[in-house]
Amino acid sequence: MAHRIGYLIGSLASDSINRTLARALVRLAPPSLELEEIPIRGLPLYNRDDELEPVEAVTEFKRAVESAEGLLFVSPEYNRSIPGALKNAIDWGSRPWGHNSFARKPSGIIGASTGAIGTAVMQSSMRSVLSFLNAPQLNAPEAYITFRPEVFGADGEVHDESTRDFLAHYMEEYGAFVERVLSLTAPGHVGDR
């Protein structure tokens, strides 16, 4: 039976290169993973005043994160950090205190940029955030993708064999990581309801 994996795309742009990368990852995922996007576009800006009575978009977002068995973050790097829309989603999902939707979710981080170091600085920041959220992370292989338009088709096809092999390997490793984490964790966490 396939594990339900929610993926979050850090860019809101409809033509985002990370959306293109996500399509490729969906195509290359092993049969043990069933990937579905968890959209972040409709979330309001996080405000502590609204934590206890959030709008429906926040409730739906938290429900989607909680129903996923694992999470994959596919994100660009904005100003050498986590894009604001993605960080906003993470802040909503982790609140109110004691209702952290990300806890114990096996997580992977991957991203593409047109630059040579592909999202490395964003991923470093993201690892710190996920550690605080108690979301176990796939630490290796790391995946900083330099995006070249001739390599990726709009439908998720990868035209370069070495890139396709690397991304397929990344997804296989993530799938194995999900299996390991889910076999070791048990429900319940001090402070969570």
Residue 190 — very low, low, confident or very high, per pLDDT cuts 50/70/90?
Answer: very low
Tell me the pLDDT tens digit for each residue of 88-104: 999 999 999 989 999 99
Tell me the pLDDT tens digit for each residue of 123-155: 999 999 999 999 999 999 999 999 999 999 988
Q: Is residue 46's pLDDT more than 90?
A: yes
Task: List Cβ neighbours of 105 (8 Å cut-off, separation of 6 or more).
Answer: 65, 68, 69, 70, 71, 135, 136
What phi-psi label fits residue 16: left (phi over 0), alpha (psi between -120 and 50 degrees) or beta? Answer: beta
Tell which residue, 1, 7, 3, has the closest CA to residue 182: 3
Whole-model pTM?
Answer: 0.93
Mean pLDDT of the chain: 93
Question: Starting at the edge strand that comes first in sequence, how are the strands of the sheet with 144-146 ordered?
Answer: 33-37, 3-9, 70-74, 107-113, 144-146
Q: Is residue 191's pLDDT more than 50?
A: no
Reading the block at residue 111, the tokens are 């991203």
Q: Determine the longest span between alpha carbons in the chain, in angstroms.
A: 50
pLDDT value of position 192:
45
